[in-house]
């Protein structure tokens, strides 16, 4: 929303609660300021003053893909071309791929340069179109894990060739020993008889950590979730939240700086759980 809020040049105040404005925005806001925008960030308020201008935006690629997606969508509306240059490797790349793909359906295009930068031609405009929104693997992952753990669950609307990063849950389930099935109507189901531990890199799909952790708690042997450092910047510190929540129910999870070690158990116990004000912890 920030780049669009800056388009008019009018002063804008954004408010938030909880951890929303505590998340790492400074590198993003500094990139906007380097191109003439002004901001002031307080505990629960973000003050912005545009207008958004064409230019070169240097942004880290390992904090939030939303920084890139927001600029990709807004910069084409300016009169001249712009470029987004990444100062680190890009994590959560599938979300950027999805952004570019959706934009193309509405007549707006982005060039990906050889060095990984993005060139955004100016003077473009969005054209109305009919667009069918596919099912969400981020939400479906919880039900697919439930299927792997023995529940009779079907998920409709999940594309088998999706660009969504969280479609990776299917690969993780297969590697654990699960089986992927499609009904005649395309409904997706998962089942498994024996599950074993794996090492899972979630740097491109960090939102899978909570359901994946539940799955690995029931996999025989020792598993590792790695590439998970950004989980500490989510609605809660998810590495800590997952560890505390699951261990209080009888799981065996060891928390590291950017990873989790999980040793499989036969059963979990019931109890009253702290959700850490995080919707994905609640769903898991």
Looking at the annotation, which residues are catalytic?
207
Q: Are 262 and 197 in contact (CB under 8 A)?
A: yes
Look at strands 222-226 and 199-201 and give their pairing. Answer: parallel
Spatial distance between the Cα atoms of 281 and 279, rounded to a whole number of angstroms: 5
Cα 98 to Cα 65, 133, 134, 214: the distances in Å are: 11, 11, 11, 27
Cα angle for residues 181, 185, 190 (degrees, 5° grid): 20
Cα 14 to the center of its chain, rounded Å: 22
Strands (E), the chain: 12-15, 38-41, 45-49, 56-59, 82-86, 111-112, 118-120, 154-155, 179-182, 188-191, 199-201, 222-226, 252-255, 260-263
Q: Are 283 and 254 in contact (CB under 8 A)?
A: no
Q: Which tokens hold the place of 278?
A: 């995080």
Query: What DSSP string describes 240-265?
Result: HHHHHHHHTTT-EEEE-SS-EEEE--
Spatial distance between the Cα atoms of 234 and 180, rounded to a whole number of angstroms: 30
Spatial distance between the Cα atoms of 267 and 269, rounded to a whole number of angstroms: 7
């Amino acid at each position: 929303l920030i780049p669009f809020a800056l388009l008019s040049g009018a002063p804008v105040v954004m408010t938030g609660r909880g951890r929303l404005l505590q998340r790492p925005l400074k590198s993003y806001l500094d990139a906007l300021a380097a191109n003439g925008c002004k901001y002031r960030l307080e505990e629960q308020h973000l003050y912005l003053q545009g207008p958004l201008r064409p230019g070169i935006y240097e942004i880290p690629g390992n904090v939030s893909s939303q920084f890139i997606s927001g600029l990709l969508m807004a910069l084409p509306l300016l009169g001249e071309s712009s470029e987004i240059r990444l100062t680190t490797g890009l994590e959560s790349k599938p979300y950027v791929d999805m952004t570019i793909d959706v934009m193309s359906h509405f007549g707006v295009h982005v060039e990906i340069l050889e060095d990984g930068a993005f060139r955004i031609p100016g003077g473009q405009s969005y054209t109305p179109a009919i667009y069918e929104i596919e099912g969400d693997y981020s939400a479906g992952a919880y039900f697919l894990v439930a299927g792997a753990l023995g529940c009779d669950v079907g998920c409709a609307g999940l594309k088998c060739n999706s660009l969504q990063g969280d479609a990776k849950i299917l690969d993780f389930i297969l590697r654990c020993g699960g089986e992927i099935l499609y009904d005649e109507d395309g409904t997706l189901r998962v089942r498994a008889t024996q599950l074993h531990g794996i090492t899972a890199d979630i740097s491109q799909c960090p939102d899978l950590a909570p359901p994946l952790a539940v799955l690995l708690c029931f996999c025989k042997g020792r598993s590792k979730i790695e590439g998970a450092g950004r989980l500490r910047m989510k609605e809660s510190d998810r590495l800590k939240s997952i560890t505390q929540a699951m261990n209080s129910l009888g799981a065996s999870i060891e928390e590291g700086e950017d990873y989790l070690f999980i040793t499989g158990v036969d059963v979990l116990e019931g109890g009253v759980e702290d959700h850490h004000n995080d919707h994905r912890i609640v769903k898991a």
